[in-house]
């Protein structure tokens, strides 16, 4: 019984990919790209965390960033919604375009960038003072939405998209922290979706979860990409292989290789990529 | 050296028992003064604590009876004035220290706040006397409230800073990643998460200044009647206790004991309230 539960979501993804309902991972030249990152470099004080990375993120697809610890993959992710600026003494060069618009132009407010580019963190972080329902709509509330009917609609819609509605619909008044770890992470996803971002960034969203919860989140990521562009950082190469359409391999702040996931995993161009994915280092 | 014969370890057991005994005695010594204070207050004050004491103005000098209602109300008024100054400045200052400010400025501010916390309270009375009482040519409730408020500021500032720093960074990041502005994140997420701790700090500061006498001696000054204007001298419980305790009348001595009992009970109630608040229902972070 347990085995069955554990394997089901993961298998369904794989089956769909085999049946061809999923876009063929080999599909080259994406129809549109959401992010265009050009010559991006980021320093923390004197330390160079990202070194001249150029990369296009495809729309309505999952792009995974892999690499050993400290390779700059989280920093890269955070640069996509200007979260890295929260760390003191950061400096960046290069450009990040979101649908052609410069995210780092002087006229753009980082808060607006983050409204368009949501983020899920490694450790689920529902606000402890709020109920499940309040957690989901807090982003809208604090951005000035007062209409209760609209909030209720968005609440249900977001929780449904995060595949959490059926589990919590009778417990919306309970504290968000009363949920299990996996549910909390899906609550955080619902909270991020409620403000209707264009992109969802995920920073190792499953690394603190057990295999069952992980499988659910992976299934969810698969569902979400029809509506959202998703960029995820992961330590887990099997996971990158399961969920992503494109994979970027980073090492020491540099982008070593970037391409369709199947190509990168089965026939990498770079020796370093092959060594990493076969477990010879990292 | 000859190895000690393993056996019943008598010497070790004696040492252990001795250490336990010393620790126990020390613990008792910590609690004992509180018990003594309560015991004395109840023995000497409870008999004079009656409805009259809580509802009547002081009797004319020499007459027996009367109460301290003006002092009790006066203390509450002074605390309200002190809170109006100390709470906003202290809380916002604490928020600044925890959320804004560079490391260098913060360490300076923190050091200064700690120095202020160590300033003897009578000094604040002298400062306010010089700044307010002399300038406006009169003792007043405002001056007393200001003196108490100034004492509250560094207390609240430090506790607010500490509880805000305890809020995990993940909550800030989560809110900012939703496109919520910095100040809204601080007010609605960070301060809300830390609210129990902030309120606790405020209550402890209020309890602390509620018992202050020295800063009121030449600011609020005291008053045997109702205070009809905050720009006039006002009675305060600690002041009244002080005045009565050094008086030559036995009846006043008894009333001083009763006043002290009321004051300590008030402080005790605030502390119980703090305990209830900090216990909380959920395993909240702060």
| Tokens encoding A142 | 């604090």
Instruction: Using an 8 Å CB-CB cutoff, list chain A residues near B179.
Output: 111-116, 139, 143, 195
Strands A229-233 and A199-203 come out as parallel
Question: What whole-number distance in Å separates Cα of residue A52 and Cα of residue A72?
Answer: 12
- Does residue B247 form part of some domain? yes
Please give the pLDDT value at position B7.
Answer: 65
- Name which of A154, A169, A161 is nearest A189 in CA terms: A161
- Does residue B49 form part of some domain? no
Q: What 8-state DSSP symbol labels residue B16?
A: H
Q: Which pairs with CB-CB distance under 8 Å and at least 24 residues apart come from A254-260?
A: A254/A51, A254/A52, A254/A53, A255/A53, A255/A54, A255/A55, A256/A67, A258/A55, A260/A25, A260/A26, A260/A27, A260/A28
Residues B163-170: what's their mean pLDDT?
A: 94
- Does residue B200 form part of some domain? yes
Find the radius of gyration of the CA atoms of chain A: 19
- Does residue B30 form part of some domain? no
- Does residue B32 form part of some domain? no
- B172 pLDDT exceeds 70? yes
- Name which of B130, B127, B100 is nearest B116 in CA terms: B127
Nearest-by-Cβ selection for A114 from B170, B171, B178: B178
Confidence of residue A2 (pLDDT cuts 50, 70, 90): very low
What does the pLDDT look like over B27-46, one tens digit per residue? Answer: 999 999 989 988 989 998 88
**pTM, rounded to two decimals:** 0.81
Confidence of residue B3 (pLDDT cuts 50, 70, 90): low
- The answer to whether residue B177 neighbours chain A at the CB level (below 8 Å) is yes
Please give the pLDDT value at position B169.
Answer: 92
Chain B residue with CA closest to A129: the answer is: B193
What does the pLDDT look like over A25-58, one tens digit per residue? Answer: 444 444 578 899 999 999 998 899 999 999 999 9
Residue from A79, A131, A142, A231 to probe the interface with B (highest B Cβ count within 10 Å): A142
Partners of A117 in the β-ladder: A199
Please give the pLDDT value at position B8.
Answer: 75
Please give the pLDDT value at position B67.
Answer: 87
- Does residue B57 form part of some domain? no
Q: What's the mean pLDDT when you consider all of chain B?
A: 90
Inter-chain contact A142–B180, Cβ cutoff 8 Å?
yes
Residues B263-271: what's their mean pLDDT?
A: 91
- Does residue B18 form part of some domain? no
Residues B214-238: what's their mean pLDDT?
A: 90
Q: Map tokens 């108490």 to a residue.
A: B148
Nearest-by-Cβ selection for B193 from A83, A115, A129: A129
- Does residue B11 form part of some domain? no
CATH assignment of the domain containing B85:
1.10.3720.10
Split into its structural domains, chain B has a count of 1
Decide: A63 and A53 in contact? Cβ < 8 Å. no
Check if the interface score ipTM surpasses 0.90.
Answer: no
Interface of A with B (CB under 8 A): 81, 83, 86, 111-116, 118-119, 121, 123, 125, 127-129, 138-139, 142-143, 175, 177, 188, 191-192, 195
Question: What whole-number distance in Å separates Cα of residue A10 and Cα of residue A15?
Answer: 9
Instruction: Using an 8 Å CB-CB cutoff, list chain A residues near B182.
Output: 111
């Amino acid at each position: 019984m347990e085995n069955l539960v554990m394997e089901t979501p993961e298998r369904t993804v794989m089956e769909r990919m085999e049946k061809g309902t999923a876009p063929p991972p080999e599909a080259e030249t994406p129809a549109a790209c959401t992010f265009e990152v050009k010559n991006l470099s980021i320093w923390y004080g004197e330390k160079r965390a990202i070194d001249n990375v150029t990369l296009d993120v495809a729309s309505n697809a999952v792009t995974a960033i892999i690499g050993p610890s400290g390779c700059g993959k989280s920093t890269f992710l955070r640069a996509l919604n200007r979260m890295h600026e929260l760390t003191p003494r950061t400096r960046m060069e290069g450009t990040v375009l979101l649908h052609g618009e410069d995210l780092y132009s002087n006229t753009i407010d980082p808060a607006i960038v983050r409204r368009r580019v949501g983020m899920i963190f490694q450790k689920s972080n529902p606000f402890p003072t709020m109920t499940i329902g309040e957690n989901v709509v807090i982003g809208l509330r604090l951005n000035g939405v007062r209409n209760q009917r609209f909030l209720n609609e968005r609440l249900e819609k977001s929780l449904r998209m995060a595949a959490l509605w059926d589990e919590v619909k009778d417990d919306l008044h309970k504290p968000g922290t009363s949920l299990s770890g996996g549910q909390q992470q899906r609550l955080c996803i619902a909270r991020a979706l409620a403000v209707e971002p264009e992109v969802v960034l995920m920073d190792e969203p499953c690394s603190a979860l057990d295999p069952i919860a992980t499988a659910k989140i992976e299934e969810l990521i698969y569902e979400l990409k029809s509506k959202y562009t998703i960029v995820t950082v992961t330590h887990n190469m099997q996971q990158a292989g399961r969920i992503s359409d494109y994979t970027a391999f980073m090492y020491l702040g540099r982008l070593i290789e970037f391409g369709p996931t199947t190509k990168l995993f089965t026939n990498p161009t770079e020796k370093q990529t092959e060594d990493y994915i076969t477990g010879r280092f990292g | 050296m000859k190895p000690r014969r393993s056996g019943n370890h008598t010497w070790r057991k004696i040492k252990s028992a001795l250490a336990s005994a010393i620790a126990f005695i020390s613990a008792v010594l910590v609690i004992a003064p509180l018990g003594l204070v309560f015991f004395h207050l109840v023995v000497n004050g409870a008999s004079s604590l009656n409805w009259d004491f809580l509802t009547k103005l002081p009797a004319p000098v020499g007459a027996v009876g009367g109460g301290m209602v003006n002092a009790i109300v006066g203390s509450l008024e002074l605390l309200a004035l002190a809170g109006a100054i100390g709470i906003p400045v202290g809380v916002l200052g604490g928020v600044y220290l925890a959320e804004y400010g560079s490391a260098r400025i913060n360490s300076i501010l923190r050091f200064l706040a700690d120095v202020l916390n160590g300033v003897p309270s009578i000094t604040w009375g002298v400062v306010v006397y010089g700044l307010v009482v002399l300038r406006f040519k009169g003792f007043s409730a405002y001056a007393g409230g200001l003196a108490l408020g100034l004492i509250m500021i560094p207390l609240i500032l430090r506790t607010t800073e500490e509880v805000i720093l305890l809020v995990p960074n993940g909550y800030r990041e989560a809110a900012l990643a939703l496109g919520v502005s910095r100040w809204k994140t601080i007010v609605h997420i960070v301060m809300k998460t830390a609210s129990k701790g902030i309120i606790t700090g405020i209550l402890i500061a209020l309890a602390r200044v509620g018992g202050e006498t020295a800063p009121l001696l030449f600011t609020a000054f005291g008053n045997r009647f109702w205070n009809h204007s905050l720009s006039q001298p006002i009675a305060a419980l600690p002041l009244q206790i002080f005045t009565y305790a050094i008086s030559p009348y036995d009846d006043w001595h008894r009333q001083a004991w009763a006043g002290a009992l009321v004051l300590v009970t008030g402080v005790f109630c605030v502390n119980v309230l703090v305990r209830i608040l900090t216990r909380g229902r959920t395993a909240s972070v702060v």
